[in-house]
Amino acid sequence: MLAYILRRLLALLPMWLAVSFLTFSIMYLIPGDPLVSILGPSASPEARARMLESMHLNDPFWVRYGKWLSSAAQGDMGDSIFLDRPVTQAMAERFGVTLALGVGALLFALLLGLPAGILSAIRRGRLLDTSVMTTALVGLSTPEFLLGLVLIYVFAVELRWFPVGGYVPLREDFLDGVRHLVMPCFTLGFIWAALVARMSRATMLDVMNTDYIRTARSKGLGEWTVVWKHALRVAASPITTVVGFVIILIVSGAFITEIVFSLPGMGNLIVSSVLKRDYPVVQGAMLFIATGVLLINLLIDLLYAYLDPRIKYD
């Protein structure tokens, strides 16, 4: 297993290099003079020369990429143009918000999606199955921003149960912090709960149609024992993949949810940086998130290999 993990980690390196290259190249393509957006159109030639020097803008592409990559590998992604602080600091300040949103959304997605999917597989074709699958289809067809706005209108504007938006750190005031997070987490979680429900239902149906489940039933075992002791154990590894997939989707969907609920997270930072062309931040955030996605994928593969004894480590 250890050799397998090491081999997978080594295989990650060229992928990471390719990801960093793509990140750098896209930002390199940005048209217009970056100095105009940093210093303004009326900057003196001396100030421009100083900035060109300090940002290595005179260097050729490969030299700039090399410098950026070696700094990034050491955790230094340069300075933000507009925030007056290092990119890593700007990201670190906002990462906690996105993490809280992501964890809450994942909890909703799993707590709603997994039981719904498994139960509707067991009760296939019945009313429960039809209602769950219809709700799942509705979930998959609803954009996060629409669901978020509906929740804001009903629960914040009309009923006044939750605040319209904003963020209170959980460390400062736990209960108020949770109140601010419930609607954003539900918004993001509900939509992916739909996906979790559909995928876990399909997986369970595959497992329930296998010979050993038939054998377990013919032994006279009760339906719940068959489901809990036999089917769920086998369905666990494909479901792990679904969970990993959903984590990545939550990272992706967090941008919009953060904007809807005015949460000061990474998504909000990235969107405002894209709009202001603060490319060191966009570059840094892209590399950070893509690295996270690569690591999550690796973790899921390893967990899959660990859970499913049929997978060989070679």
Partner 1 sequence: MTSGKGTPSAWERFVAGLRRALRQRPIVFGGALLVLIVLASLLGPLFSPHSPNRLTVAFLEPPSATHWFGTDNFGRDILTRALHGARMSLAVGLMTALFSSLLGTIIGMIAGSSKRLDAVLMRMMDVVMAFPSLLLAMAVLAALGRNVTNILIALSIVYTPRTARVVRSSTLSVREEVYIEAARALGIPWWRILARHVLPNVFAALIVQATFVFAYGVLAEAGLSFIGVGIQPPAASLGNMLGDGRSIIREAPWMSFFPGGVIFALVMGINLLGDGLRELFDPRLRKR
Residues 193 and 108: beta-carbon distance below 8 Å: yes
Contact status: 286 vs partner 1 (CB under 8 A): yes
Q: Interface with partner 1 includes 197 (CB under 8 A)?
A: no
Q: Which two tokens stand for residue 62?
A: 């490969």
User: 190: number of CA atoms within 13 Å, CB side?
Assistant: 20
143 near partner 1, rule: CB under 8 A: yes
- Rounded to a whole number of angstroms, the minimum distance from the CB of residue 204 to partner 1 is 11
Q: Please state the φ and ψ torsions of residue 79, each to the nearest 5 degrees.
A: -110, 145
Q: Find the binder of partner 1 among 270, 280, 284, 305 (CB under 8 A).
A: 270
Q: Taking CB under 8 A as the rule, does residue 186 contact partner 1?
A: no
CA nearest neighbour of 233 among 205, 206, 202, 207: 207
CB 229 within 8 A of CB 148: no
**CA–CA separation, 234 vs 86, rounded Å?**
47
Cα distance between residue 210 and residue 234, in whole Å? 11
Query: What are the angstrom distances between the C-alpha of 39 and each of 27, 35, 51, 68, 276?
Result: 19, 6, 9, 21, 13
51 CB contacts (<8 Å, ≥6 apart)? 35, 38, 39, 43, 57
Rule CB under 8 A: say whether 1 interacts with partner 1: no
The answer to whether 293 contacts partner 1 (rule: CB under 8 A) is: yes
Q: Among 89, 141, 210, 215, which residue sits at the site for partner 1 (rule: CB under 8 A)?
A: 141
Asked if 213 is part of the footprint of partner 1 (rule: CB under 8 A), the reply reads no
Among 51, 140, 236, 307, binds partner 1 (CB under 8 A): 140
**Torsions phi, psi for 2 (to 5 deg):** -65, -45
Whether 234 contacts 241, CB under 8 Å: no
Residue 149 contacts partner 1 per CB under 8 A = yes
Using the CB atoms, write b or e for 163-198: b if 16+ within 10 Å. bebebbebeeeeeeeeebbbbbbbbbbbbbbbbbbb
Minimum gap (Å) between residue 100 Cβ and partner 1? 18
Closest CB 67 distance from partner 1, rounded Å: 20
Q: Which of 27, 69, 168, 221 binds partner 1 (CB under 8 A)?
A: 27
Amino acid letter, residue 297: N
For position 294 contacting partner 1 by CB under 8 A, the verdict is yes
Residue 73 in contact with partner 1, rule: CB under 8 A: no
Contact range with partner 1 by CB under 8 A, out of 89-97, 110-118, 132-140, 232-240: 132-140
Stretch of 54-62, 214-222, 251-259, 298-306 lying at the interface with partner 1 (CB under 8 A): 251-259
Residue closer to partner 1 (CB basis): 86 or 267: 267
**By the rule CB under 8 A, 22 interacts with partner 1:** yes
DSSP 8-state symbol, 55: T
User: Which residues contribute to the site for partner 1 (CB under 8 A)?
Assistant: 14-15, 18-19, 22-23, 26-27, 29-31, 124, 137-138, 140-146, 149-150, 152-153, 157, 205, 248-249, 251-253, 255-256, 259-260, 270-271, 274-275, 277, 279, 282, 285-286, 289-290, 293-294, 297
